[in-house]
């Protein structure tokens, strides 16, 4: 056994530890005193590993459970044990509440129960609530779990039936746990106990392939040989089965299990509270007294861990806190005080080492270790006492075990980070950039919505229609034609409005209309000239805008600023010590900002991202880089409360380094502000965070190097003018929580330095939004649920005059809640006291006005109740909802409306939209739904809004992108639109029954059918025949289909998506990737699908060659380039293949040979 392993085992190896183990073996209850909470996880890990038996650490509250889980995982890793730490949560819903637990919660519970059947028993953390919560009995889980192996024989329909019996829900596409989907011989299912959903592919009744797939893009990942399919949930099955099938975690524990009661008094208190919440006759909970009796009946070993020593204790362990030695606190901002306090604690560490204590120090990562070793050397202790013994791991607190002279010190004691805790790993995959709001799912479009057809302009969407062909039988799908129906303006009031029937194969030509205001746009006339003129005007406007943006950029490039150097060692340490996991988008934004800073030209970069996506960390790292170069940093924010929030965040992140951070806002007295202003002038302050107070004339910097502007659009005109002056001299980083639609971002690439953060942080869950009438019972349940799991609540009431009346009501509804009130009309010191008490967890409910709207980040607050939501705009509601759901718990937003109120149509739409768009990163879609381009107005200016309205946002962005590229002199690869006519292919289902001559012709613009009077129908034309055609015989090639069969991809949105992607493919690799994806998701490609993909590839090849027309007529291939036919010796190339697929490949070979 290694020396360190001996250290870790000293608690058990001590005389009192041996006595504890002896009593555990005897069973029953043991009282153990003198065990600080910092030692609970260590004791549980040692008992689990040494005794190879299940150990359950039971706590009263969820927060304690999460801290224990974090510490437990660290200790098991340090012990180099294969014992797993399992987290067993309660459902986090109130008894008889009409809600299902989050799928990840059910997943953690079922995984824990299955782990108890493994050869190596786990160590489990649980709460009183989770132990009282019912689950499936061991017998039920055994019968409802199935192992499937590769090569096994099983009818897919029988498999689907079995899955449904286990609680899995059929869906068109599997994206969440507990869902299943059947497509031909492919079955997708997402069990609760696998890391990814699983794709089973059958050949007949033989299981031919088992593989994981990514729920975001539906593409397969790793192949596996076998998998266990667990029950499809808990709640639904518990309602179905008899009492004998329901039990608790307790009945899953083997006889030799050990339960550690961490703080028994707290456990009893929480149990009593939980019992009060359970209604009579509840079938999902077991009384606490019943559980205790059952423990006695089974003689399960129970250790009651108490912090204080007591004569009544059976065993005294003496594991104590380090608090008495005054380690680092977490409320200190003065670097000198921080340094003095840290130096004093380091002196104590040195004394322990001289007294032959074994001192083990844990850091989160390598960056923290490097900084710790630097400080140890800087204070002179390395020369006297040698190097420190440091390991990597995350512990909430350290502890002292005096009996064996052993000290464990965590980074919390060194760097003052008691409040920082790594989030527990949730299992759902929410990664991936958000989808464009313009990628229309036509089943989600509402009738009457406005759409834009590239060729015909703005129309009104009327729905989808399956159009039968003349002569076809009713219900014959193969003779049906799916169309998007769009209504246009009436040219003659006597006639009904004309309709355009767009085949789904041309869906890529249609986009959702989004303007820059709330006025409905006029519809275009079919065949009229107004649409073309409108596009021309918009093109001129965007050219002017692009020219102005590029002019500003050119001017900036001639300015000379400070070129910051490469990252220092401290910079790398500082970034490595970040305790959370950065997203790829976030890392890219950080690198772009730092690269800008290293250029000689002043930086002017905009960082866009949805609420809570990590923009502040980008600013923190840029600020630290500036300070390391001896420059000062100013951080401008729009509100006092947000200034305080940023001050706390920057101070905590910089605490390990000699960086002085100050606050300049009305939360500071005049004398404090004066001192800060003097210190800024003298260069004694490195980073100052403040409101508009920062741009007042008396604020002078000694050497300003970086300005960070948060939410610039919330400042006034005068302040913005001051910002413009700053931009010509120093580096400027602007943060915007109002996300820029990706189409605009791409359009501005090259004309404006922008970074977008579209990926949500790891483990983020979407906020569940509940829209309801004002209801005191609902409010009571919502607040109590949050308090029950140790969380906090925002209650938003945006009327200062009645806010104290609401406070009185809330105190009557939830008397046990600690409520504080905050609003903008309070005195500065009062508001600061309120916010501080809430941030520090000394209050449960913050009743406030919209002062919380911008940037407030309180991870422990995961419920927000918005009173009179009808008075808010959609963007405001979205920002408010973003105050919660910034941590690992399921968050709730209650959108309350006045009872019996007749809401205006506009308010109803807003409320409907906030509920509909609850997915992560849905700020883009919120912006579109509200018909306000959030952030675009600030970038483009109000003069452009008319042109956005005229042509729609997506087309506007396309035109802008083209103009920017052209003005920069870039060679823009513009895809040539290639017309194709193959006499041996039916390119859509309607052609299967169409007359022969229809196959030889094509509409001049598109295949859309227009229902208008006869004279307005687009003329059909034969291809040009400048080259004489020799006589030819009948076509000798078979007629074959080339479209997406409904029986291959049954869902219309999925078919439209494939047609769109194929039409927009710019290279052959994209077509090949699409082909591989279809094979993976839907099975073997049918001939019609193969032909369609090959036609798509031919179009890409032709476009690259500048060919704009491909015609196959009998055995002749006719290719046009710029209106001229391509011939070989004055003749068309001849095709010889008779099969459709072979003939298409022959055409491909000839195109590649050109």
Structure tokens at 752: 């404006």
Enclosing domain of residue 128: 3-139+238-317
Helix (H), strand (E) at residue 182: strand 179-183
| CATH code, domain with 411 | 3.40.50
Q: Say what the pLDDT of residue 18 is.
A: 75
Measure the CA–CA gap between 300 and 25, rounded to whole angstroms. Answer: 10
Q: Any bridge partners for residue 502, and if so which?
A: 484
Q: Which one of 306-320, 796-810, 1057-1071 scores highest in mean pLDDT?
A: 796-810
Q: Which one of 468-477, 516-525, 571-580, 919-928 scores highest in mean pLDDT?
A: 571-580
Q: pLDDT for 138-179, tens place per residue?
A: 999 999 999 999 999 999 999 999 999 999 999 989 999 999
Q: Say what the pLDDT of residue 153 is.
A: 94
The sheet carrying 179-183 orders its strands as: 169-170, 179-183, 186-189, 198-203, 206-213, 220-223
Using the structure block, give the residue that is written with the tokens 């709207």.
Answer: 853
924 assigned to some structural domain: no
Q: Which one of 238-242, 775-779, 868-872 scores highest in mean pLDDT?
A: 775-779
Q: Say what the pLDDT of residue 919 is.
A: 52
Q: Give the lowest-confidence range in 96-100, 528-532, 1096-1100, 1142-1146.
A: 96-100
Q: Say what the pLDDT of residue 1073 is.
A: 94
Helical residues (DSSP H) of 757-866, grouped into ranges: 776-788, 803-813, 828-839
Q: Is 192 exposed, middle or buried (0-12, 13-18, 19+ CB in 10 A)?
A: buried
Residue partners of 786: CB distance under 8 A and separation at least 6: 792, 793, 844, 862, 863, 892
Q: What is the mean pLDDT of residues 353-378?
A: 86
pLDDT at 1002 over 70: no
Within 10 A of 95 (CB to CB), how many other CB atoms are there?
A: 15
Percent of the chain with pLDDT over 70: 80
Domain stops at, among 395, 415, 435: 415
Q: Say what the pLDDT of residue 1025 is.
A: 37
Measure the CA–CA gap between 165 and 808, rounded to whole angstroms. Answer: 50
Q: How many domains does the chain have?
A: 6
Considering only CA atoms, which of 585, 610, 506, 541 is closest in space to residue 957? 541
pLDDT at 793 over 80: yes
1120 assigned to some structural domain: yes
Indicate if 163 and 133 belong to the same structural domain.
Answer: no
Q: Say what the pLDDT of residue 271 is.
A: 92
Q: What is the DSSP code string of 634-693?
A: EEE-SSHHHHHHHHHHHHHHHTTSS--EEEESTTS-HHHHHHHHHHHHHT--SEEEESGG
Q: Say what the pLDDT of residue 182 is.
A: 93
Q: With contact defined as beta carbons under 8 Å apart, do 521 and 458 qualify?
A: yes
Q: Say what the pLDDT of residue 742 is.
A: 59
pLDDT at 370 over 90: no
| CATH code, domain with 178 | 3.30.2060.10
| Nearest-10 crossing angle of helices 62-78, 40-51 | 50
Q: Any bridge partners for residue 127, and if so which?
A: 59
Q: Give the lowest-confidence range in 23-27, 29-33, 323-327, 608-612.
A: 323-327
Category of 219 on φ-ψ map: left (φ > 0), alpha (ψ -120 to 50) or beta: beta
548 assigned to some structural domain: no
959: helix, coil or strand? Answer: helix
Indicate if 87 and 201 belong to the same structural domain.
Answer: no
Q: What is the mean pLDDT of residues 775-786?
A: 89
| Nearest-10 crossing angle of helices 776-788, 803-813 | 70
> Which 8-state DSSP code applies to residue 422?
P
In a 13 Å sphere around the CA of 670, the CA atoms on its Cβ side amount to 0
Structure tokens at 824: 């903008």
Planar angle of CA 80, 83, 89, nearest 5 degrees: 130
> Which 8-state DSSP code applies to residue 285?
B
pLDDT band at 509 (very low <50, low <70, confident <90, very high): confident
Measure the CA–CA gap between 119 and 897, rounded to whole angstroms. Answer: 54
Measure the CA–CA gap between 682 and 333, rounded to whole angstroms. Answer: 19
Q: What is the mean pLDDT of residues 630-634?
A: 95
Q: What is the mean pLDDT of residues 121-147?
A: 94
Using the structure block, give the residue that is written with the tokens 């993976």.
Answer: 1080
In a 13 Å sphere around the CA of 486, the CA atoms on its Cβ side amount to 32
Percent of the chain with pLDDT over 90: 34
Q: With contact defined as beta carbons under 8 Å apart, do 889 and 860 qualify?
A: no
Domain stops at, among 887, 919, 951: 919
pLDDT at 599 over 50: yes
Measure the CA–CA gap between 535 and 948, rounded to whole angstroms. Answer: 10
| CATH code, domain with 826 | 3.40.50.300
pLDDT at 846 over 70: yes
208 assigned to some structural domain: yes
Q: With contact defined as beta carbons under 8 Å apart, do 1098 and 980 qualify?
A: yes
Q: What is the mean pLDDT of residues 360-373?
A: 86
Q: With contact defined as beta carbons under 8 Å apart, do 390 and 369 qualify?
A: yes
Higher-confidence residue: 214 or 3? Answer: 214
Q: Give the lowest-confidence range in 280-294, 450-464, 750-764, 1055-1069.
A: 750-764
Q: pLDDT for 538-590, tens place per residue?
A: 888 888 888 887 887 787 777 888 899 999 889 988 888 787 778 888 999 99
Q: Torsions phi, psi of 603, nearest 5?
A: -75, 140
Measure the CA–CA gap between 1045 and 1022, rounded to whole angstroms. Answer: 28
Strand 399-401, strand 1020-1021: pairing: unpaired
Indicate if 706 and 786 belong to the same structural domain.
Answer: no
Indicate if 704 and 615 belong to the same structural domain.
Answer: yes
Measure the CA–CA gap between 736 and 640, rounded to whole angstroms. Answer: 17
Higher-confidence residue: 799 or 429? Answer: 799
Q: Say what the pLDDT of residue 1 is.
A: 46
959 assigned to some structural domain: no
Indicate if 248 and 221 belong to the same structural domain.
Answer: no
Q: Torsions phi, psi of 689, nearest 5?
A: -115, 130
Strand 892-897, strand 861-866: pairing: parallel
Q: Say what the pLDDT of residue 1014 is.
A: 32
Q: What is the mean pLDDT of residues 246-263?
A: 93
pLDDT at 901 over 80: no
Q: What is the mean pLDDT of residues 275-302?
A: 88
Indicate if 716 and 610 belong to the same structural domain.
Answer: yes
Q: Say what the pLDDT of residue 1031 is.
A: 43
Q: pLDDT for 804-838, tens place per residue?
A: 999 999 999 999 999 999 988 888 788 888 888 88
539 assigned to some structural domain: no
Q: What is the mean pLDDT of residues 706-725?
A: 75
Q: Say what the pLDDT of residue 369 is.
A: 86
484 assigned to some structural domain: no
Q: How many helices (H) and strands (E) does the chain have?
A: 37, 48
Q: Torsions phi, psi of 1068, nearest 5?
A: -65, -30
pLDDT band at 757 (very low <50, low <70, confident <90, very high): confident
Measure the CA–CA gap between 189 and 169, rounded to whole angstroms. Answer: 9
Indicate if 362 and 265 belong to the same structural domain.
Answer: no
pLDDT at 1000 over 60: no
Structure tokens at 286: 């077991």
Domain stops at, among 729, 757, 785: 757
Q: pLDDT for 936-966, tens place per residue?
A: 444 566 666 677 777 877 788 778 888 888 8
pLDDT at 289 over 80: yes
Q: pLDDT for 372-389, tens place per residue?
A: 888 888 888 876 667 788
CA distance to 24, 272, 667, 688, 693, per residue, from 697 (Å): 72, 60, 20, 15, 9
Q: Give the lowest-confidence range in 459-473, 521-535, 929-943, 946-960.
A: 929-943
Structure tokens at 242: 């008899």
Q: What is the mean pLDDT of residues 396-425?
A: 74
Measure the CA–CA gap between 567 and 574, rounded to whole angstroms. Answer: 10
Indicate if 681 and 813 belong to the same structural domain.
Answer: no
Indicate if 339 and 198 belong to the same structural domain.
Answer: no
Structure tokens at 285: 């909970």
473 assigned to some structural domain: no
pLDDT band at 874 (very low <50, low <70, confident <90, very high): low
Residue partners of 96: CB distance under 8 A and separation at least 6: 279, 282
pLDDT at 12 over 70: no
Indicate if 607 and 687 belong to the same structural domain.
Answer: yes
Q: With contact defined as beta carbons under 8 Å apart, do 298 and 255 qualify?
A: yes
Average of per-residue pLDDT values in the chain: 81
Indicate if 157 and 203 belong to the same structural domain.
Answer: yes
Higher-confidence residue: 1033 or 222? Answer: 222
Q: Give the lowest-confidence range in 211-215, 490-494, 818-822.
A: 490-494
The distance in angstroms from the start CA to the end CA of the chain is 73
Q: Say what the pLDDT of residue 228 is.
A: 94
Measure the CA–CA gap between 685 and 650, rounded to whole angstroms. Answer: 13
Q: What is the mean pLDDT of residues 434-452?
A: 64
| Global confidence as pTM | 0.78
Indicate if 815 and 697 belong to the same structural domain.
Answer: no
Q: With contact defined as beta carbons under 8 Å apart, do 478 and 990 qualify?
A: no
Q: Say what the pLDDT of residue 1015 is.
A: 33
């Amino acid at each position: 056994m290694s020396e360190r392993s001996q250290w870790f085992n000293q608690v058990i190896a001590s005389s009192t530890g041996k006595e504890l183990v002896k009593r555990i073996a005897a069973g029953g209850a043991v009282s153990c005193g003198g065990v600080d909470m910092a030692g609970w996880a260590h004791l549980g890990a040692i008992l689990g590993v040494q005794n190879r038996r299940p150990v359950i650490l039971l706590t009263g509250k969820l927060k304690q459970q999460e801290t224990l889980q974090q510490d437990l995982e660290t200790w098991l890793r340090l012990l180099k044990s294969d014992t797993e730490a399992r987290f067993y949560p309660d459902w986090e819903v109130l008894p008889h509440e009409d809600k299902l637990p989050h799928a990840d919660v059910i997943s953690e519970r079922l995984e824990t129960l299955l782990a108890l059947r493994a050869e190596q028993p786990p160590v489990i953390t649980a709460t009183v609530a989770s132990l009282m919560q019912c689950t499936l009995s061991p017998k039920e889980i055994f019968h409802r779990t199935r192992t499937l192996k590769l090569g096994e024989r099983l009818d897919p329909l029988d498999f689907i039936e079995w899955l449904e019996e286990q609680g899995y829900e059929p869906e068109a596409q599997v994206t969440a746990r507990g869902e299943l989907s059947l497509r031909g011989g492919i079955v997708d299912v997402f069990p609760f106990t696998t890391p990814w959903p699983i794709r089973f592919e059958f050949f007949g009744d033989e299981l031919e392939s088992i593989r994981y797939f990514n729920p975001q893009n539906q593409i397969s990942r790793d192949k596996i040989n076998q998998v266990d399919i667990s029950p499809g949930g808990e709640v639904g099955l518990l309602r179905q089965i008899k009492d004998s099938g329901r039990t608790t975690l307790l009945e899953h524990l083997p006889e030799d299990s050990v339960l550690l009661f961490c703080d028994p008094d707290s456990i009893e208190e929480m149990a009593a509270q939980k019992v009060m919440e359970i209604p009579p006759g509840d079938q999902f909970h077991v009384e606490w007294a019943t559980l205790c009796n059952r423990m006695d009946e089974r003689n399960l070993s129970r250790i009651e861990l108490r912090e204080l020593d007591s004569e009544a204790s059976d065993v005294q362990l003496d594991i104590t806190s380090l608090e008495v030695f005054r380690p680092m606190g977490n409320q200190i901002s003065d670097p000198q005080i921080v340094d003095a306090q840290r130096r004093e604690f380091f002196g104590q560490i040195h004394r322990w080492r001289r007294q032959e204590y074994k001192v083990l120090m844990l850091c989160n990562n390598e960056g923290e270790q490097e900084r710790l070793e630097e400080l140890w050397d800087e204070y002179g202790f390395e020369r006297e006492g040698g190097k420190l013994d440091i390991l990597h791991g995350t512990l909430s607190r350290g502890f002292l075990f005096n009996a064996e002279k052993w000290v464990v010190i965590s980074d919390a004691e060194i760097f003052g980070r008691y409040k920082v805790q790594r989030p527990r790993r949730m299992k759902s995959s929410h990664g991936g950039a958000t989808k464009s709001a313009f990628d229309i799912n036509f089943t989600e479009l509402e009738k009457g919505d406005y759409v834009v057809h590239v060729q015909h302009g703005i129309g009104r969407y009327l729905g989808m229609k399956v159009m039968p062909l003349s002569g076809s039988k009713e219900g014959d799908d193969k003779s049906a034609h799916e169309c998007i129906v769009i209504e246009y303006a009436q040219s003659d009031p006597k006639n009904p409005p004309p309709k355009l029937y767009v085949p789904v194969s041309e869906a890529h030509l249609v986009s959702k209309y989004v303007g820059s205001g709330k006025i409905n746009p006029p519809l275009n006339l079919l065949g009229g000239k107004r649409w073309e003129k409108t596009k021309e005007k918009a093109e001129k406007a965007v050219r002017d805008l692009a020219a102005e943006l590029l002019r500003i950029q050119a001017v900036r490039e001639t300015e000379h600023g400070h070129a910051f150097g490469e990252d220092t060692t401290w910079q790398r340490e500082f970034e490595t010590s970040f305790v959370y996991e950065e997203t790829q988008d976030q890392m890219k934004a950080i690198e772009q900002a730092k690269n800008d800073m290293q250029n000689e030209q002043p930086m002017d970069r905009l960082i866009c991202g949805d609420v809570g996506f990590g923009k502040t960390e980008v600013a923190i790292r840029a600020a630290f880089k500036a300070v390391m170069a001896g420059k000062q940093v100013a951080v401008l924010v729009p509100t006092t409360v947000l200034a305080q929030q940023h001050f706390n965040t920057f101070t905590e992140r910089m605490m390990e380094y000699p960086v002085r951070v100050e606050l300049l806002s009305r939360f500071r007295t005049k004398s404090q502000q004066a001192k800060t202003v003097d210190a800024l002038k003298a260069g004694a302050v490195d980073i100052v965070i403040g409101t508009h107070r920062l741009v007042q004339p008396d604020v002078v910097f000694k050497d300003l190097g970086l300005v960070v502007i948060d939410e610039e659009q919330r400042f006034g005109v005068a302040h913005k003018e001051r910002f413009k002056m700053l931009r010509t001299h120093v580096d400027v980083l602007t943060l915007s929580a109002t996300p820029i639609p990706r189409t605009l971002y791409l359009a501005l690439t090259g004309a404006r330095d922008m970074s977008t953060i579209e990926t949500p942080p790891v483990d983020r869950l979407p906020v569940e939004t509940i829209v309801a009438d004002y209801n005191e019972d609902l409010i009571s349940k919502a607040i109590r649920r949050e308090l029950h799991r140790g969380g906090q609540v925002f209650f938003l009431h945006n009327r200062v005059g009645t806010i104290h009346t609401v406070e009185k009501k809330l105190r009557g509804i939830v008397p046990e809640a600690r409520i504080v009130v905050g609003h903008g009309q309070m005195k500065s010191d009062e508001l600061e006291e309120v916010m501080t008490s809430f941030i520090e967890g000394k209050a449960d409910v913050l009743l406030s006005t919209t002062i919380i709207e911008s940037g407030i980040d309180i991870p422990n607050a995961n419920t927000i109740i918005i009173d009179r939501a009808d008075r808010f705009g959609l963007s405001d509601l979205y920002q408010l909802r973003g105050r919660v759901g910034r941590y690992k718990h399921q968050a709730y937003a209650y959108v309350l409306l006045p009872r019996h109120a007749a809401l205006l149509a506009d308010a109803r739409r807003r409320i409907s939209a906030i509920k509909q768009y609850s997915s992560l990163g849905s700020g883009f879609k919120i912006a579109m739904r509200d018909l306000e381009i959030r952030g675009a107005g600030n970038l483009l200016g109000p003069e452009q809004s008319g042109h956005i309205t005229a042509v729609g946002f997506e087309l506007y962005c396309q035109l802008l992108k083209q103009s920017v590229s052209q003005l920069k002199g870039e060679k823009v690869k513009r895809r040539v639109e290639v017309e194709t006519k193959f006499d041996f292919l039916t390119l859509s289902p309607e052609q299967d029954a169409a007359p022969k001559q229809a196959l030889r012709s094509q509409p001049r613009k598109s295949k859309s059918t227009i229902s208008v009077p006869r004279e307005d129908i687009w003329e059909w034309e034969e291809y040009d025949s400048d080259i004489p055609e020799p006589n030819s015989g009948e076509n000798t090639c078979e007629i074959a289909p080339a479209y997406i069969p409904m029986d291959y991809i049954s869902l219309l949105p999925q078919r439209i998506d494939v047609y769109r992607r194929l039409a927009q493919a710019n290279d052959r690799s994209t077509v090949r990737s699409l082909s591989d994806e279809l094979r993976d998701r839907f099975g073997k490609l049918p001939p019609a699908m193969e032909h369609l993909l090959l036609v798509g590839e031919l179009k890409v090849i032709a476009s690259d060659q500048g060919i704009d027309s491909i015609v196959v007529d009998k055995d002749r291939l006719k290719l046009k380039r710029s209106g001229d036919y391509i011939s070989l010796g004055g003749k068309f190339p001849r095709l010889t293949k008779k099969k459709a697929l072979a003939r298409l490949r022959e055409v491909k070979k000839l195109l590649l040979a050109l």
